[in-house]
Amino acid sequence: MFPQEFERSVNAELGEAEAGRLLAALDGRPVTSIRYNPFKLSAMPTAEGGGLPCGNPVPWNRYGAYLAARPVFTLDPAMHAGLYYVQEASSQFVEHLLRESLTDRDGELPGNIRLLDLCAAPGGKTTLYSTLAGPEGLVVANEVVKQRASVLADNVRRWGVGNVAVTCNEPRDFAAYKHWFDVLAVDAPCSGEGMFRRLPESRSEWSPAGVEMCASRGRGILADAWDALKPGGILIYSTCTFNRRENEETVAWLAENYAVEPVAVDVPEEWGVVCGDAAGIRTFRFWPHLARGEGFFAAVMRKADGRVKRETPRARKEPLVEMNRPESKPLAEWVNTPEAMKFARVGDNCYGYYRPVYRDVVALAGGLNVIYSGVCMGRIFNGKLRPDHALALFHDLAPGCGTASKTEITRDETLDYLRKKEFADPSRLAEGLNLLTHGGVPVGWTKRVGHRSNTMLPNSFRIVNL
């Protein structure tokens, strides 16, 4: 059953016959899709290769694929190793928007891009943006709720590109970084009508008052963060809902109150995406009975150009302490390209950063609550590194993995490790630190001491109740 007010709304929007097809689709079987990590895989994993039962590719994302069946993802070591992310197909469309808006003649994004993903948890779009930005770019992934920010940080660690700073701030806090970002992505908190198929329980939580509250909240977020986007920069606004109040009317409100320009985006008709217009700004709707995915809305626009200077607020604190070459020597042997990185201490932990973005992270950490950034390397004891779990999942981990031994383990052993169980046969491990791999892919660290092994998996990565 659907809320009566919702049915009336879609009938008014689509007409009774078309609305009937939409409601029938929302009562159907959800579509399952993933997006693989090109920093760890050269191609989509397949069932023939021991991977997932992948079907057709997601047409608007180079790394996306539909699954022929939905596996128990929690029991797939490849997911825990960051080889792919389970992401709804429609939401992967933001890659197409970004590439159409920013790529050069060679189809590449500009180097040193700064992208603010303002409502980022749990991390699907963040990891997508991280892939697109590459080692020379920086993605700032913000989540205002502390617990959700921790989940976001874990997914960033798992993805392992090393170019994300996770923050836990109010949107208004970013206004001090005036004209700082090349891209502002706002996947606004919404009434969730587009998830009625995947999450049927959300139907009972829907109300017209909730729609109004979400529309107001989305506009407040846009207003608070607007100054952080540079003139000429790109804004991607999205929701997972259908109603015009949160979607087209919010885009029109933005166009009426701020200086924005349309961006031309080509969308092939066979994708089933319904293109529209709100105050001259192009919009994109995913209706589940027309496009293969859940409900989704997006709009893209450019902030009107102007000659302005980026402003970085004066640092209130200096949490990053840069390490010199002798200090960072115990770290350099653990990464494949140490010359491309700078190393710093944050409290007792050591972190690695790609050189092009290090100063940007320092500037952010001086004024915002940065809870994770770059790649956490671990802690140095007596001149040796005790590696962090994030380092095992870093795509640029050195083939020799520092001073650790490599040990290949079975699928069952991997799942036991992810449940934080002791290694069944410690004699298979080398004495001391071991990098455990499954299918040649790192899954984490363990340490053998005599006849025992100590699992070094953080509790937040542990499989529970399966």
Instruction: Return the active site residues.
Output: 240
Contact at 8 Å (CB) between 421 and 354?
no
DSSP state of 335: B
DSSP 153-179: HHHHHHH--S-EEEE---GGGGGGSTT
| Secondary structure of residue 181 in the 3-state scheme | strand
For the chain, what is the largest distance between any 2 Cα atoms, rounded to a whole number of angstroms?
72
How many residues can be counted in the chain? 466
Nearest CA to 125 among 55, 39, 64, 196? 64
Residue 310's CB is within 10 A of a number of other CB atoms, namely: 12
| Secondary structure of residue 285 in the 3-state scheme | strand
The residues with which 454 forms a beta bridge, in sequence order, are 447
Contact at 8 Å (CB) between 446 and 453?
yes
User: Is the CA virtual torsion 271, 272, 273, 276 positive or negative?
Assistant: positive
Contacts of 117 (CB under 8 A, 6+ apart): 125, 126, 129, 139, 140, 141, 142, 185, 187
DSSP 214-228: HHHHHHHHHHHHGGG
Tokens of 93: 């469309």
How far lies 410's CA from each of 404, 416, 456, in Å?
19, 10, 18
Expressed in angstroms, the distance from the first to the final Cα of the chain is 32
Contact at 8 Å (CB) between 366 and 316?
yes
Kindly provide the residue ranges of all beta strands, DSSP E only, lying in 417-461, ordered along the sequence: 432-438, 441-449, 452-455
Residue type at 362 in one-letter notation: V
Tokens of 107: 């189809």
Nearest CA to 273 among 282, 262, 261? 282
Tokens of 274: 């319904």
